[in-house]
Amino acid sequence: MKVEATEVDGRKVFAVRAFSKGVASWLSRLPTVWVEGEVTELRRQARWASVFFTLKDPDDDASLSVQMQRTRFDALELELTDGERVHVFGRPELYEQRGELRLRALTIERYGLGAHLAALERLKRTLAAEGLFDAARKRPLPRFPRLIGLVTGNDAAAKRDVLTHVVQRFPPANVLVAETYVQGPRAPDAIVAAIGELCRRGVDVLVLARGGGSFEDLLPFSDERVVRAIAACAVPVVSAVGHEQDTPLCDLAADVRASTPTAAARLLVPDAAELRAALGRSRAALHRGAAVAAERHAQRLAHSRERLHRAPLLTLERRRSRLDTVQARLAALAPQATLERGYAIVRRGDRVVRSPADVMRGEQIDVLVAEGTFGATVE
Amino acid sequence: MSDPSFEEAQRELDAIVERLERGDADVDELTKLWERGEELYRLCVGKLDTVRGRIEELSRTSES
């Protein structure tokens, strides 16, 4: 293509438009290419023929303007939002009016699922090697939480579900809710900030709740910052993110994973009805126990009293039998017993004869034997 | 002298019973020991009945 130039003082000079046209023409001969980056500043209006956005390197300031036909963009039905990583297929062109380079997009693809998965897998391995997911790190949840921290989206059904089920199970529960972004590029930092804020406010257990979503929607919950914040959290964390089949990395770092908001509520608070029933059982046992203890004391007392009543009589009987023995011995010493053995007592008048000198021949004496007395004459 | 506790009274009662059962108590003392034992028994039973009454009352009121 021929570009018009004029001669001025022997030099070839281009008008701006002509220059741009020339560069544009040269650029248009470059081949189409794939460019990867994050979508930012997406501008789309129904009355515009084109959609505009800026493509950026995630870890770099390098950026590139992208333009795409609105009808073509809409046909892709990507529903792109800021911060999403994409592959843009197109060719460089010059916006001649402003002399600006931009990429004219022919098609856009979301950053491949495979690539995301590979990146996640790498991160998972790194964090696992650091021990962030170790079973030994898991802490038990408080049995009766004083204050539950709930991190969730501002209009999330997940929020309502968790709250409803927690209060249903345990009406006196206190829940502090931190509403935050739960998807998109701002979500990771916002979630980390919410976790920190709730911990400062004194919660003693934390729950992250988010309903199901696409793989990309759930990516913030696999973000390294979020996963590390959960692992470092001062209080136990319950992860209730996505559906059963989703396993964002936050599930692995959390102390417990709940597959549904109902399950989360079950983990967070005790069932008040069950608790009341258990208390009732404890009370019944208490009454029974007290009655049994009192009964045992009463029996012991009754037994003591029985012994008390028996003991003095036993003592008296024993004493009595000892007295009988003594009496028996005493009796053995009595004269009658001696007489029984065949001895006799000889008296002269009322004096006992102890010596032959005590009597004279012909004197009357009395002889006392066991069964009576008879008289005799001394020879 | 203030009332002994249930435990104290029961301990004393048991000691008296054991002493009596050993049979070496002085005869003049028997009546005294027996009366003291009876007194301790009534004290314990009184305390126990109070407690049992209270337990039954609590059980009744808690059933409503």
Amino acid at A123: L
Q: pLDDT at residue A234 above 90?
A: yes
User: Are A106 and A138 found together in one domain?
Assistant: no
Does the distance separating the beta carbons of B34 and A312 come in below 8 Å? yes
- Per the structure, the count of domains in chain A is 3
Residue B41 lies inside a defined structural domain of this protein: yes
Out of B23, B44, B45, name the one closest to residue A314 (CB).
B23
User: Are A148 and A225 found together in one domain?
Assistant: yes
Out of A294, A305, A319, name the one closest to residue B41 (CB).
A305
Helix axes A187-200, A224-232, angle to 10 degrees: 10
Of A248, A284, A240, A247, nearest to A266 (Cα)? Answer: A240
Residue B38 lies inside a defined structural domain of this protein: yes
Distance (Å) from the C-alpha of residue A274 to the closest C-alpha of chain B?
18
Asked if A301 contacts B48 with a C-beta cutoff of 8 angstroms, the reply is yes
Task: State the first-to-last Cα distance of chain B, in angstroms, to the nearest integer.
Answer: 42
Cα separation of B57 and A164, whole Å? 40
Chain B CB contacts of A280 under 8 Å are none
Q: pLDDT at residue B18 above 80?
A: yes
Distance (Å) from the C-alpha of residue A297 to the closest C-alpha of chain B?
8
Q: pLDDT at residue A365 above 60?
A: yes
Residue B1 lies inside a defined structural domain of this protein: no
Does the distance separating the beta carbons of B14 and A294 come in below 8 Å? no
User: Are A158 and A260 found together in one domain?
Assistant: yes
SS3 sequence, A38-55?
EEEEEECCCCCCEEEEEE
Chain B CB contacts of A315 under 8 Å are 20, 23, 25, 27, 30
Question: Range of B46's domain?
Answer: 6-63
Cα separation of A374 and B1, whole Å? 73
A139-195 confidence digits (pLDDT tens): 999 989 999 999 998 766 888 989 999 999 999 899 999 999 988 888 999 999 999
Residue A123 lies inside a defined structural domain of this protein: yes
User: Are A234 and A130 found together in one domain?
Assistant: yes
Cα separation of A230 and A158, whole Å? 19
CATH code at A214?
3.40.50.10550
Among A248, A269, A290, identify where a domain stops. A269
Question: Range of A349's domain?
Answer: 336-377
Among A239, A269, A299, identify where a domain stops. A269
- Per the structure, the count of domains in chain B is 1
Residue A360 lies inside a defined structural domain of this protein: yes
Does the distance separating the beta carbons of B44 and A316 come in below 8 Å? no
Residue A265 lies inside a defined structural domain of this protein: yes
Beta pairing class for A5-8 and A11-14: antiparallel
Distance (Å) from the C-alpha of residue B30 to the closest C-alpha of chain A?
6
pLDDT > 90 fraction of chain B, expressed in percent and rounded: 5
Chain B CB contacts of A312 under 8 Å are 20, 30-31, 33-34
* Reported ipTM: 0.77
Asked if A234 contacts A206 with a C-beta cutoff of 8 angstroms, the reply is no
A249-293 confidence digits (pLDDT tens): 999 999 999 988 888 999 999 998 988 898 889 888 888 888 888
User: Are A125 and A254 found together in one domain?
Assistant: yes
Instruction: Look at residue A178 in the predicted model and tell me its pLDDT.
Output: 93
pTM assigned to the model? 0.52
A64-76 confidence digits (pLDDT tens): 999 999 999 988 8
Does the distance separating the beta carbons of A287 and B55 come in below 8 Å? yes
Out of A304, A314, A316, name the one closest to residue B14 (CB).
A304
Structure tokens at A337: 């017993």
Instruction: Look at residue A237 in the predicted model and tell me its pLDDT.
Output: 96
User: Are A125 and A249 found together in one domain?
Assistant: yes
A89-115 confidence digits (pLDDT tens): 999 999 988 889 999 999 998 876 777
pLDDT > 70 fraction of chain A, expressed in percent and rounded: 97
Cα separation of B18 and A169, whole Å? 59
Among A111, A126, A145, identify where a domain stops. A111
Residue A348 lies inside a defined structural domain of this protein: yes
Show the CA angle centred on residue B21, arms to residues B16 and B26, nearest 5°: 70
Residue A161 CB neighbours (<10 A): 19
Instruction: Look at residue A379 in the predicted model and tell me its pLDDT.
Output: 86
Q: pLDDT at residue B1 above 60?
A: no
User: Are A148 and A247 found together in one domain?
Assistant: yes
Residue A310 lies inside a defined structural domain of this protein: no
Contacts of A23 (CB under 8 A, 6+ apart): A94, A99
Residue A304 lies inside a defined structural domain of this protein: no
Q: What share of chain B is helix, strand, coil (3-state, %, to 5)?
A: 85, 0, 15
What mean pLDDT value characterizes chain A?
A: 88
Instruction: Look at residue A151 in the predicted model and tell me its pLDDT.
Output: 95
Asked if A262 contacts A161 with a C-beta cutoff of 8 angstroms, the reply is yes
User: Are A145 and A254 found together in one domain?
Assistant: yes
Distance (Å) from the C-alpha of residue B7 to the closest C-alpha of chain A?
10
User: Are A101 and A136 found together in one domain?
Assistant: no
Residue A111 to residues A56, A124, A336, Cα–Cα distance (Å): 13, 19, 136
Chain B CB contacts of A306 under 8 Å are none
User: Are A130 and A163 found together in one domain?
Assistant: yes
User: Are A89 and A38 found together in one domain?
Assistant: yes
User: Are A96 and A163 found together in one domain?
Assistant: no
Residue A320 lies inside a defined structural domain of this protein: no
A275-287 confidence digits (pLDDT tens): 889 888 988 888 8
Could you tell me how many helices (H) and strands (E) chain A has, helices first? 10, 16
Tokens 């795409």 found at = A68
Residue A283 lies inside a defined structural domain of this protein: no
